[in-house]
Each structure stands twice: as C-alpha cells, then as structure tokens.
C-alpha cells in the first residue's frame, strides 16, 4: 500500500452512509489518507438528516455533493468499502474490499440516524488502525 492510501466509500445514492464515513475519515485521519466517496445511483443531494447528525459531532458535510461511481475511482483506490450497494459495485482484483452492512439513513429521523453515525465512526476508527495511521 502506498505511503498515502486511497479509501473509497461506496453506497447506492452517495447521500448518507458513504458521506458520513468519508466525513469521519477525513476528520480523523487528516492528510494521512486520501478519502473519496461515490454512489452507483447518486442522489440529488446529501441526506439533510445525515448532515445534521454529523454536525452534532462537529463534522460539516453540508457542502458535499453525491458523485457517480466510476471504474476509474475504484481502479485508483487501495481500499473500497461498500455499504449496501450489492451487485451494483464493480470488483477489481488486488483491491482490499470491505462490505459494511449498515442501515440506510434515507427517510429516517435523527434519533434513528445517530446510532448509524456512531457505528460508522467506530468502523472508521478500526479502518484507520488497520492502515497503520
């Protein structure tokens, strides 16, 4: 793995889980890890409840926009973490893949999204440790 690994978070709409994960990884790892996120069918905007849940812990993802998953984004990543996109996610040999099974925050209230957010943070912290950061 290169000196500065690239981690790509992927979910269907790139509006909730993957954005929260990218926000946590950026905040916790700083410049040690290149962080990206994308969706197989990106939504029109970031889930406002995900934005609110992240703001509660001091991380601003309000300026982010859902991005389309491309083969190039996977090809250039060292670690690809999928979150419920199933068969929509292309696979490239030689990459480190993890599938984080997490509830989808879409259409949920803040009380429901908070535990999802907290689980994402826990997994991001584990990921950082596994990358030696």
**Residues involved in catalysis:** 11, 85, 89
Ranking 11-15, 20-24, 120-124 by mean pLDDT, the lowest is 11-15
pLDDT band at 91 (very low <50, low <70, confident <90, very high): confident
CA atoms of 9 and 18, how far apart (whole Å): 5
pTM above 0.75, yes or no: yes
Eight-state DSSP code of residue 87? G
106 φ/ψ sector (left φ>0, alpha ψ -120 to 50, else beta): beta
The residues, ordered by sequence, that sit 6+ positions from 132 with a Cβ below 8 Å of its Cβ are none
pLDDT at 70 over 60: yes
Q: Which domains does the chain have, with CATH numbers?
A: 7-127 (3.40.50.2300)
């Amino acid at each position: 793995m290169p000196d500065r690994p690239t981690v790509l978070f992927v979910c269907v709409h790139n509006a909730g889980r993957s954005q929260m994960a990218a926000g946590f990884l950026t905040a916790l790892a700083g410049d040690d890890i290149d962080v990206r996120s994308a969706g197989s069918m990106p939504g029109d905007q970031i889930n406002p409840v995900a934005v609110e849940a992240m703001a509660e812990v001091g991380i601003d993802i309000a300026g982010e926009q859902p991005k389309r998953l491309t083969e190039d984004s996977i090809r250039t990543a060292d670690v690809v973490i999928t979150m419920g996109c199933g068969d929509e996610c292309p696979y490239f040999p030689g990459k480190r893949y993890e599938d984080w099974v997490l509830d989808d925050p879409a259409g949920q209230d803040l009380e429901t999204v908070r535990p999802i957010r907290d689980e994402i943070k826990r997994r991001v912290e584990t990921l950082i440790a596994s990358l030696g950061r």
